[in-house]
Amino acid sequence: MLKHAADQEPDKADIARTGALPVRDIEVEVPFAPGTVTRARLTGRDEAPVVVVLGGISANRFVCGFPDGRGGWWPGLVGEGDAIDPERFRVLGLDFAADETGKTAPSTQDQAAVVVAALDKLGVERAHGFVGASYGGMVGLALAQQFPERLARLVVISAGAEPHAAGTAWRDLQRRVVALGIEAGTAAEALTIARGMGMLSYRTAPEFGQRFEGGLDSQDPLGRTEPGDYLRARGEAFQAVMTPQRFLSLSGSIDRHRVEPEKISTPTLVIGAETDQLVLPSQMVALTERLAGPAEVHLLESIYGHDMFLKEAERLGALIKPFLDARPNDQEA
């Protein structure tokens, strides 16, 4: 049976609790894997418009907060007083569907169909908006192409129409490491290493230079280093939200992503980082130029690279809030 994402926070600080808002958890049948389910969570008042919020492959349905009282995984963008305020919107989060054996990778179109299944189960004909970052942005593009009637506006952050070859190269190495670890019986350590490799692609050399001392003090070639300790810690934390097999499935899904922007007419806000190594600024510009509907692009200077969407959420909110608040005619002008 297809399991849902672990009920843990994916490597982010807590945010303020959103108060006693209605919360609805549902099981969603997975269209591409009959007989299996994943889970979604809707937070907010019944009359409020729905905004779907999806992040990277380690994100989950707890975008507004976790059952134990911790804040959700996107602080600064989703929360009381933020651009996506559960007092104003019903926020829909989702556990991505994956092959928990690691043998197959769903497409982003498959994942978009899961979003539609969640909307159907909740009785939501059309989402007011969709805000997706990284893998979530890819799913948003697939949703807008396949099911344009199901969303009114789309925000795509750090995601393109297809994977860049350099990003695929990073992920190919990660998957090979994890596969070797599974075969050797050291899957947990392999996943830790793969996550460390991922962190190097998410962040930037200037940030590492500011935070850590380079070099190895010990004669032991496997001795500890400052940046290595950081990557090890992030890799170990990753195991709380990801299994090696699930990682293979969702990492592969990223590299299966393809959309045709010329078929997407939904009003779209595109946001990227000038320093992103995985989704290059040129990809964000090309995506915007190819979209059939009204679209605008903002490229932000950030030391955090691809992780800008998590580390500088308030900056995103300043762009996203007016986009979500605008009337459809304003966006079509």
Residue positions annotated with a catalytic role: 134, 276, 306
Question: Residue 132 CA to chain centroid, in angstroms?
Answer: 6
Residue 86's nearest CA partner among 64, 60, 53 is 64
Provide the CB-side half-sphere exposure for 181 (13 A, CA).
Answer: 21
What percent helix, strand, coil does the chain show, rounded to 5? 40, 15, 45
Give the C-alpha separation, 86 to 88, whole Å.
Answer: 5
Find the radius of gyration of the CA atoms of the chain.
19
Under 8 Å CB-to-CB from 102, ≥6 apart: which residues? 182, 244, 245, 246, 247, 248, 249
**What is the rounded distance in angstroms from the CA atom of residue 231 to the CA atom of residue 134?**
20
Burial label, 32 (beta-carbon count in 10 A; 0-12, 13-18, 19+): middle
DSSP notation for 267-312: -EEEEEETT-SSS-HHHHHHHHHH-SS-EEEEEE--TTGGGHHHHT
d(CA 129, CA 110): 19
- Region of 228 please: left (phi>0), alpha (psi -120 to 50) or beta: alpha
